[in-house]
Amino acid sequence: MSRVQREFVLWVGIAVAALLLFAGILRFQYRNTQNRFAIAVTPQPARGDAVFRAKGCAKCHGENAAGGQLGPALRERAASLPQLVTAMWNHAPRMYEAMNQAKLPYPTLSYDETGQLVAYLYLTGYSDEPGDARRGQELFRTKQCARCHTSDGNPGGAPGVQQLAAADSPITWTQALWNHGSAMESGMRREGIAWPRFQANELRDLYAYVRQASGRSGSETPVPAADPDRGWQVFQAKYCINCHSLRKPPGVAEVTSPPQRPQGPVLGTDGKLPPTFSQFGAAMLNHFPDMHRAMRSVGQTPPRFESQEILDLAVFLYGLHYLEPSGSPQVGASIFAWRGCADCHGARAEGTARGPALRGRGQPYTAVRLATNLWGHGTKMYERSRKAGRTWPVLQESDVGDLLSFLNTPIESRR
């Protein structure tokens, strides 16, 4: 082979090696990008509901995770992300045994599927239970709704009970009432009726009553199939952003934008939202007269919501409270040992012959990733624990943030 041919072969070899290296880098970046996007999941109730059904969860845990004959309810009021992660792990042994007895396949979960499933279960915590129609009937009288809203309608006036019951959930009913607010406020002023203020669950019970009175069935939609991305657009387009901040800077009680606008409560992570979607709607209606006056003072009228915009707005705001836990890596290292994880994965989570390394892998740990890995690892660990006569390690909610902090720290070099 001549010198020119040898040089040509050498350059071809270098080019092939460079292409392989580039392909490897792209694959690594793609995998990491996939994990980052799957970890930072935007709660999409419709997608989470689809995962819940596709993976067979509804067969045991009932429609909308409300509980069934084979499995407990998974809906927890205002559940935190750590609470959901630990519930999945702690529930695993009973679930494995029940699925084996029923000869059901064990479902696999990707990062994205776990994220959407956990987000779905998180949002179910804010859904409403069916209202009390009898209590709602009494409220319909004492709140003086019956003076304007009659069973047969009021020609040229307020809508009848049949029209009031057309909404399919308390929160969509809120939207109808809100859009009617200006006319209702004027009519109540003429009649000398004070604007009603709703306490906990009263709006839900009123909704149950009008549904019953109109002959319609059902007074609950557990998780609204809403879009938080649209909710953020609504928050901006409907002027909510003018008075309600999503966060407040240190040392400032609350912030408004622009500063000349009336000040409203913080709705993001620095604030506090009502415990259910119907109570969120009630807070909006209670706020209507004050907001109407404030907007009128700057030459604006209250916004009108179309389609399911209040649903989208509510899910956007509640999604802001879907937070990653934080903790101490030192405490996390101790918990890793206390819960028995170190027995297989090593004291520093560096890996052993019995279990893979969990630290130093170049991938960030979050609650969703931890839940996904625990879920995928659970069946093998359960069988090993059972054969070895060891009890299943139970995680506390407070463990999650500390474990994540520990797993996200680099492995210390030995000296």
Contact assessment for residue 111 and residue 38, using Cβ atoms and an 8 Å cutoff: yes
pLDDT at 337: 93
H-assigned helices in 128-273: 133-142, 161-164, 170-179, 181-191, 202-213, 228-237, 240-243
Q: What sign for the dihedral angle of Cα 235, 240, 243, 246?
A: negative
Contacts of 11 (CB under 8 A, 6+ apart): none
Alpha-carbon gap, residue 352 to 370, rounded angstroms: 19
Alpha-carbon gap, residue 267 to 273, rounded angstroms: 7
Alpha-carbon gap, residue 297 to 295, rounded angstroms: 5
Contact assessment for residue 278 and residue 310, using Cβ atoms and an 8 Å cutoff: no
Contact assessment for residue 147 and residue 257, using Cβ atoms and an 8 Å cutoff: no
> Would you state the torsion angle of the CA atoms of residues 112, 117, 122, 128, taken in this order, to the nearest 10 degrees?
140
Contacts of 292 (CB under 8 A, 6+ apart): 181, 182, 185, 302
Contacts of 164 (CB under 8 A, 6+ apart): 149, 173, 176, 210, 214
pLDDT at 152: 65
Residues with pLDDT less than 50, the chain: 16, 18, 20-40, 251-261, 415
Contact assessment for residue 275 and residue 126, using Cβ atoms and an 8 Å cutoff: yes
pLDDT at 202: 94
pLDDT at 2: 64
Alpha-carbon gap, residue 134 to 129, rounded angstroms: 15
Alpha-carbon gap, residue 405 to 390, rounded angstroms: 27
The residue written with tokens 């520990």 in the block is: 406
pLDDT at 336: 93
Neighbouring C-beta atoms of residue 38, cutoff 10 Å: 19
pLDDT at 258: 46
pLDDT at 63: 79
Q: Which two tokens stand for residue 167?
A: 């909404």
What does the angle CA 341 – CA 114 – CA 229 come to, to the nearest 5 degrees?
135
What does the angle CA 172 – CA 175 – CA 180 come to, to the nearest 5 degrees?
140
Nearest CA to 378 out of 102, 88, 121 is that of 88
